[in-house]
Structure 1
Amino acid sequence: MKKLKNKKSKELNLGNNYNNNVFNENLNPIEVPGLITVNLQLFADSGEKTEKPTPKKRRKAREEGQVLQSREMTSAIVLLSIFLTLKIAGSFIYEQLYLNFKIAFIDLAQVPDLYTLQGIRKMFAETVLQFLKIVAPVFAVALLASLATSYAQVGFLFTTKTLAFKFNRINPINGFRRLFSLRSVMELVKSILKIAIVSFIAYSYFSHEAVNMLKTMDMDIISIAVYICSTALNIAVRMCIALLVLGVLDYGYQWWEYEKNLKMTKQEVKQEYKETEGNPEIKGKIKQKQRQIALRRMLQDVPKADVVITNPTHFAVAIKYDPKVADAPLVIAKGQDYMALRIKEIAKENKVEIVENKQLARTLYSTVEIGEKIPPELFQAVAEVLAFVYSLKNKVRAM
């Protein structure tokens, strides 16, 4: 019975150890007698981008020209601004066109030197001037709308990195991948939606205006031209409004894709932290080296001290007073425990006086840093110690 129980307990312990090994935190290789060794790290996806982009990642992407921008929204706003300008300034444009035709075909025809080189130049200049008066406001509005929309989405950005040659742009394999990517599918969907929107709006408007279009047979040429322009502008404005809605949806998709592409793996975040903040191990070694250098310099200054005030075993503070350097005594070295012992050893080797004052040594160690002056509240106590040391030195010299 005991052998059977021992056997069962061993099997139970083996099972527990197996479970603990399988679900251990580090996913180390599993080695169990009679089973195949499996390394679960092979199944871990270490390259999955799950972390949000850091500010440095966003800045770098922006410098490289990777910005959040919807061209559909920009195009829709620019076209809408153009057609609204034409609709609002329609009477002005009509007057300018009428004036342009009048100048070209009536007024200039009465010029005596019309068929000379000078007359042709004058006619051309007048025609171009009138044409610029018509198109300049429209172009100005389109330019302002384009700049305002781009600035609202991107802000001010000037970079030439997007113009740099990249081999992957002409790589046929990458091109084939882009052909069947999600972005290509979305571009196809947007194109189909635009065609459908334009077709639906045009069909709806013409169906509604069918009766009025038949009435144009009884109109004069100018009225027909005005009606055609008005109809075309109304259709264009409606199409642009619909495309603007599509542009807003496209902006949402562009934001999602932009954030997705900027995401980082955990390894990239760690690597960036090391590059930005420095490798913690290297920083620790640098700090340790700096402390060693500072301690070495401090110990080198101990022989210059006038006195070393001790606790006597736990604290040691080296004091130097030189009226030419400072108006108060300076702490040039201090240490605790082992470092206090080293300061006292160096002081003895260089015949620097050592004075025991427990309270003063502890206070100086905790309140005054190396290279700092003695605070006013400790002047009296330190002055008494220095006076005692100077008196001892004078006695030695007198002997």
Structure 2
Amino acid sequence: MADQEQEDRTEQPSEKRIREAREKGDLPRSRDLSGSMVVLAAVATLISTGHDAMEHARTIYRLGLSYSREALFAGQLPVHAWYGALHEAVAIVAPIAVATLLAALGAPTLLGGLNFSAEALQPKFERLDPIAGLGKIFAMRGLVELGKSLLKLLMIGGALLILIHSWQPEIMETGRGVVGAGIAQSLGLLGRAGLIFGVMLGLIGGVDAIWQRFDYTRRQRMTKQELRDEHKESDGSPELKGRIRQVQQQMSRRRMMQELPKADVVIVNPTHFAVALQYDDGRMRAPKVIAKGVDVLAQQIRLVAASHRIPLVEAPPLARALYATTDIGREVPASLYVAVAQVLAYVYQVKQAVTHGMTPPEPPRPEVDPDLMGPYRDN
């Protein structure tokens, strides 16, 4: 069943999937790569600082064997020797400790980056299940780990056996000469062996790092259904987005109808389109569209305008052009200034005529560029 489920995971992991895995502490890691870098750093530091380390070791040796009669009877000799030996020991160990610490931090950074996960620190008692552990042994990852262990045993063990056989004369010479020279020669042999051991482990670690990266990506792959579910979760389902748009439209229409009584004129066409304009020459550079609609919404605009005694002017081309070019809350474009000015002048003249009992003027027929009507040119 697990193999079948893995075969269904054909899609590359999303950023959200990778982020959730990192939060759980699941990152590509290679213990072999980390171990090899630590060993190489320790051996390389030991070889490069070997001469200084020998001097510090001689100093420790002298502190325990060379002292004056006065120092012996003063009672401070043990404390003096202890502090001196500690100082020299720190000088020997410090470069190696710093190098191995940097290597231990650098290896995870190269492969998966540094990461802290509180969830990974929580105890998981299911890991103590012996049946599940037995299943992991025969799983793909278990077989790969077994193969790596056998490969390390063969490569590193074989290399060290070859070295011991080829270095046999040098090893035998270490006990026949001067003590200092024998110690130096022994340390040199150990350093070279450690360096070869680190290089062999590094080769295995490099191969393991490639495998761990591949295996991590394989384990994080997703099925098509999981990818669709994630997109729905992040973007919202089409039904939810449609409902949100519907609510937004209702709220926008409600605000529009609340602003409609402030209009100075409503330009209609005569049944399909309705556009309400507001103009205050003291505050506005140009007239502003505060409401617009087609069909049923246009009818509602006309009813509200009639109830508030807002003039309605029939100018079909201008109504279509305003609807096509100007959003609610925007000023009319400069290309429609003249046409809109004619309508506003007409409204003003009608008000004056009614006030003074005069005959109202004829409604204007403003000319509009047909291209400004956009898709409503033939409506």
The TM tier, using the shorter chain, reads 0.7 to 0.9
Report the equivalent of 1:292. 250
Distance 1:263 1:49 in 2: 5
1:1-399 alignment runs, 5 A limit? 48-106=8-66, 109-110=67-68, 112-114=70-72, 118-323=76-281, 326-399=284-357
Ranges in structure 1 where 5+ consecutive residues have no aligned partner: 1-43
Partner SS, residue 112 of structure 1:
helix
Q: Which moved more, 1:246-255 or 1:286-295?
A: 286-295
Residue 350 of structure 1 and its aligned partner are, at CA, apart by: 3.1
Paired AA for residue 151 in structure 1: T
Tell whether the 8 Å contact from 2:39 to 2:100 is kept in structure 1 after alignment. Answer: yes
Partner SS, residue 52 of structure 1:
coil
Distance 2:132 2:89 in 1: 47
Change (3 A) 1:45 1:208: closer
Partner SS, residue 274 of structure 2:
strand
> TM-score normalized by structure 1?
0.82
Distance 1:212 1:182 in 2: 45
Partner SS, residue 291 of structure 2:
strand
Paired AA for residue 280 in structure 2: D
Change (3 A) 1:222 1:202: same
Partner SS, residue 218 of structure 1:
coil
Residue 194 of structure 1 and its aligned partner are, at CA, apart by: 1.7
Partner SS, residue 70 of structure 2:
coil
Change (3 A) 1:118 1:212: closer
Distance 1:234 1:243 in 2: 14
Distance 1:63 1:191 in 2: 30
Residue 261 of structure 1 and its aligned partner are, at CA, apart by: 1.1
Partner SS, residue 202 of structure 1:
helix
Change (3 A) 1:188 1:339: same
Percent of aligned positions that are identical: 34
Residue 226 of structure 1 and its aligned partner are, at CA, apart by: 1.8
Paired AA for residue 119 in structure 1: L
Paired AA for residue 87 in structure 1: I
Tell whether the 8 Å contact from 2:174 to 2:186 is kept in structure 1 after alignment. Answer: no
Change (3 A) 1:322 1:171: farther
In angstroms, what is the RMSD of aligned CA positions? 2.3
Paired AA for residue 79 in structure 1: V
Distance 1:178 1:209 in 2: 42
Tell whether the 8 Å contact from 2:174 to 2:183 is kept in structure 1 after alignment. Answer: no
Ranges in structure 2 where 5+ consecutive residues have no aligned partner: 358-379
Change (3 A) 1:164 1:102: same
Residue 283 of structure 1 and its aligned partner are, at CA, apart by: 0.4
Residue 324 of structure 1 and its aligned partner are, at CA, apart by: 5.7
Change (3 A) 1:124 1:379: same
> TM-score normalized by structure 2?
0.86
Distance 1:94 1:46 in 2: 56
Q: Which moved more, 1:150-159 or 1:69-78?
A: 150-159
Residue 260 of structure 1 and its aligned partner are, at CA, apart by: 1.4
Change (3 A) 1:133 1:216: closer
Distance 2:350 2:203 in 1: 95
Distance 1:80 1:217 in 2: 28
Partner SS, residue 309 of structure 1:
strand
Distance 1:46 1:173 in 2: 21
Tell whether the 8 Å contact from 2:111 to 2:209 is kept in structure 1 after alignment. Answer: no
Distance 1:185 1:45 in 2: 19
Partner SS, residue 207 of structure 1:
helix
Paired AA for residue 227 in structure 2: V
Q: Which moved more, 1:290-299 or 1:94-103?
A: 290-299
What is the number of residues matched between the two proteins? 354
Residue 323 of structure 1 and its aligned partner are, at CA, apart by: 4.3
Paired AA for residue 293 in structure 1: M
